[in-house]
Amino acid sequence: MKKICLLLLLFLISICGFTQSRYISATTKKIVFTRDGGVCQCCGSSNSLEYDHIMPFSCGGASDVSNIQLLCMSCNRSKSNSCVCKIHDRRVGTNCCNGNTTIKKESSTSQQCSGTTKKGARCKKRTTNPNGRCHLHQ
């Protein structure tokens, strides 16, 4: 009897953990792909498409059809945990901090650093220097 209760408890815990995962079912992916026309919802590209959580998963966004959209890899990486694609300055999600969908205004003189990290990735810091590099990449 104890073994059955333990197995049942483990099963219930695994189900609860599964519902809180980033996993997007194949059915959801097919519906979203068809709904979005197979193109990025920000720039219209059909290359390197990814399934994005409109309200970020880290902020409680679910993995259901109403919260998933297609974005190309560049727009998805630019959006990150915000509601704005920083490459195209377009709203492509919901601001998870307060629930509204306003575009975060950044300084017009600020730009992303053009330097690269030791791992070869582009620096994510912002700079106002005319050379386009932050203080770490001068």
pLDDT tens for each residue of 121-136: 888 777 777 777 777 7
What pLDDT, on a 0 to 100 scale, did the predictor assign at position 100?
A: 44
pLDDT of residue 105: 38
pLDDT above 60: residue 18: no
Contact 123, 134 (CB under 8 A): yes
Residues near 55 by beta carbon (within 8 Å), at least 6 away in sequence: 61, 62, 67, 93, 94, 96
Fold assignment, 23-101: DNA Binding (I), subunit A (1.10.30)
What is the C-alpha separation between 55 and 5, in angstroms, rounded? 37
Q: What is the pTM (predicted TM-score) of this model?
A: 0.54
Going from N- to C-terminal start, the domains of the chain cover: 23-101, 111-138
β-partners of residue 129 are: none
CA distances from 46 to 69, 102, 136 (A): 13, 26, 35
Residue 12, pLDDT score: 64
Are the CB atoms for 50 and 72 separated by under 8 Å? Answer: yes
Q: What is the pLDDT of residues 36-48, one digit of tens each?
A: 999 999 899 999 9
Q: What is the pLDDT of residues 68-114, one digit of tens each?
A: 999 999 988 888 777 777 787 777 776 555 544 433 334 446 778 88
